[in-house]
Amino acid sequence: MKKIFFSIILCSLSTFLLSAAEPDMPVPQDAIITISGTRITLESFISQVEKQTGYLFVYSKQDVNVNSVLPVREGKKTVAAFLDEAFGNSNLKYVFENQYIVLTYKAPEYSTVSGTVIDGQTRKPLVFATVYIVNRGISNVTNGEGFFALKFPPSYAKDSLRISFLGYHPQTIALKDIMNKGDKLVIPLSFVPTTLPAIFVTPQNASELIARALEKIPDNYPLEPMQMTGFYREMIRKGNNYVTLTEAVLDINKSSYGRMYGLDQVGVFKGRGSVDWARIDTVFVKFRGGINSALQIDVAKYPFLGTNVPEINQIYDFTMEEPVQIDGKISHVVAFNQKDNIDDIWFRGKIYIDMKTEAISRIEFNMNVEDRADATNIFISRRPVGFRADVLYAAYMVQYKQIGGKWTFDYSRTEIKFDSKWDRKLFKNTYTITSELAVTERSDNAIKIPSEQRVRSADITLDKVTDFQDEGFWDDYNVIEPESGIEQVIARITRQLKRRAAEQ
């Protein structure tokens, strides 16, 4: 059986960079220069421009991240054209001052809408509802309390916001009508019994429908790589208390769906994390490979549920269920479970297949770990002698969004729960690991991530990010809004770090 791809185990403070020697007279701003490279960092860009022009860059290291990747394509252009391409849509602006190009930080300009999505009848929050700006590639999901916040450029103010949830009528609202309502906006969605078109015939053979959906992957999903920005959150709870919390904005190079085994590339652009050592006793649980696994449960991209396509019907039974509506479109629902005669641990769940395109639009599945002692070895890669762990459940969800006629990866979530106990101790502890990845922006301008900057399957996200130092850490980014319990954890961590800094 194919395992799930995870396991449970710079700048200085000088204000300006200036050369002691006077530079040569620089070339005119309309002079042609050449920039080369596949993924051009600011440091590389500065070096290439300085060598060819005679200009020197001046900037504050507190405001500029020289390791950030610029939206610059290699080629020949004027100096000014390259600078516009590099900084035109960023939080940096440039000015020419004699022999210098001065980079300064400008506060980001964006508008925000936020609110709570609820069931119009029961008034209960709708968790993981999709919220996006129509035709703009900016999206998010609601949190565990139905709340969302979405940042966007002011130029999008005339566009529309769309909110959708499985089995409910979607709503489309003009952004200009809700931009000034703050957090008090409440968006009710109405549950809708699925009414099938008169000409619609429910497929009788679920296995054949699955086979067609897999055959049509090259037609329904992008054949060209896509550049994505994603927000990743990873949490580990001991009982009801959070012991680790990690968040990161990711650069994702989503490879072509035409290459079934082409690996996605991902790098951490910005992240933060913390450990509540006061709640950790004798065992420190780490989640290894969380970021990569969030992408590798994309069943339209990677081998289907742990097996190759030709073996699917040897492993699983498929049955048709009642269709549902997702984002205004009707989807077939196919339930699946491993066959009774299969001894290995596989999966069960539901696959949602769009009626019109026969694309997989969503999948919810669990690994069949219940009452299986051998499930521990699938997840626990290392543990102390005398320490036992039993996996209670492992649940996954992936959803896709149709943009420009193609379905793209939109959101994934993983939750694993296990009991642990030392041999000589009476009581046991229960740990819950949750991770989620939401794609917040998309672009056709795919840029490969250098090998040395990629997140590896063996990486522990917590080890790759910084402490929770800044209350405004995510001000410039779309993130999954934290639930009230997580907000309290973040506030407590920030207070602790401030006290620690004051005592030093």
- Share the mean pLDDT of the chain: 80
Task: Provide mean pLDDT across the span 339-366.
Answer: 93
The rounded distance, in Å, linking the Cα atoms of 316 and 290 is: 26
pTM higher than 0.85, yes or no?
no
Total residues belonging to the chain: 504
Per mean pLDDT, which of 271-285, 298-312, 346-360 is the most reliable? 346-360
Residue 476 banded pLDDT, cuts 50, 70, 90: low
pLDDT confidence of residue 390 = 86
pLDDT score at 243: 80
Q: With bands split at pLDDT 50, 70 and 90, how would you rate the model's confidence at 10?
A: very low
User: What local confidence, expressed as pLDDT, does residue 29 receive?
Assistant: 80
Instruction: pLDDT band for 1, please (50, 70, 90 cuts).
Output: very low
Residues 6+ apart with CB under 8 A from 55: 23, 26, 49, 79, 96, 99, 100, 101
Task: Compute the half-sphere exposure of residue 384: CA atoms within 13 Å on the CB side of its CA.
Answer: 10
All structural domains of the chain with their residue ranges = 32-105, 111-189, 206-503
Q: Read off the pLDDT band of 195 (50, 70, 90).
A: low
Longest Cα–Cα distance in the chain: 80
pLDDT band of residue 491 (cuts 50, 70, 90) is: low
What is the Cα–Cα distance from 232 to 214, expressed in whole angstroms?
28
The residue type found at 501 is A
441 - beta bridge partners?
229
Distance separating alpha carbons of residues 2 and 418, to the nearest angstrom: 20
> What is the structure's pLDDT at 496?
54
Lowest mean pLDDT, pick from 29-33, 105-109, 456-460, 484-488: 484-488
Q: How crowded is the C-beta side of 8, counted as CA atoms within 13 Å?
A: 31
Res. 278 pLDDT band, cuts 50 70 90: low
Token look-up 């800044």 returns 470
For the segment 124-142, the average pLDDT, to the nearest whole number, is 88
Res 25 pLDDT > 80? no
Q: How confident is the model at residue 449 (pLDDT cuts 50, 70, 90)?
A: confident
> How many CA within 13 A on the CB side of residue 412?
20
Which pLDDT belongs to residue 22? Answer: 42
Question: CA of 215: how far to CAs of 298, 320, 360, in Å?
Answer: 16, 19, 11
Query: Model confidence at 304, in pLDDT bands (50, 70, 90)?
Result: confident
Task: Return the amino acid letter for 365.
Answer: F
Q: Which helix (H) or strand (E) holds 492?
A: helix 484-503
Predicted confidence at residue 318, as pLDDT, reads: 95
Give the residue from 162, 491, 210 showing the smallest Cα distance to 329. 162
Q: What is the pLDDT of residue 15?
A: 31
CATH class of 32-105: alpha beta
Q: What is the pLDDT of residue 151?
A: 87
Cα-Cα-Cα-Cα dihedral sign, residues 34, 39, 44, 45 = positive
pLDDT at 189 over 90: yes
Question: Residue holding tokens 């500065």?
Answer: 46
The pLDDT of residue 48 is: 93
How does pLDDT run across 212-268, given as a tens digit for each residue?
Answer: 999 999 999 999 888 998 888 888 888 877 788 888 888 898 989 886 557 888 888
The domain 111-189 is placed in CATH, from the list 1.10.10.60, 2.60.40.1120, 3.40.50.300, 2.102.10.10, at 2.60.40.1120
Residue scoring higher pLDDT (499 or 339):
339
Q: 360-367 and 387-403 as β-strands: parallel, antiparallel, unpaired? A: antiparallel
**Is pLDDT of 71 > 90?**
no
Q: What is the DSSP string of 327-364?
A: TTEEEEEEEEEE-TT--S--EEEEEEEETTT--EEEEE
Across 28-37, 105-114, 290-299, 362-371, the highest mean pLDDT is recorded for 362-371
Token pair belonging to 365? 């599945």
Q: What is the pLDDT of residues 398-442, one digit of tens each?
A: 999 998 899 999 999 999 888 887 777 778 888 888 888 889 888
- Residues 142-162 pLDDT 10s: 988 889 988 888 888 899 999
Tokens 């300085």 correspond to 50
Per-residue pLDDT reduced to its tens digit, 320-343: 998 888 888 889 999 999 999 999
Q: Is the dihedral of CA 453, 459, 463, 467 positive or negative?
A: positive
Q: What confidence score (pLDDT) does residue 395 get? A: 92
For the chain, the straight-line distance linking the first and the last C-alpha, in angstroms and rounded, comes to: 52
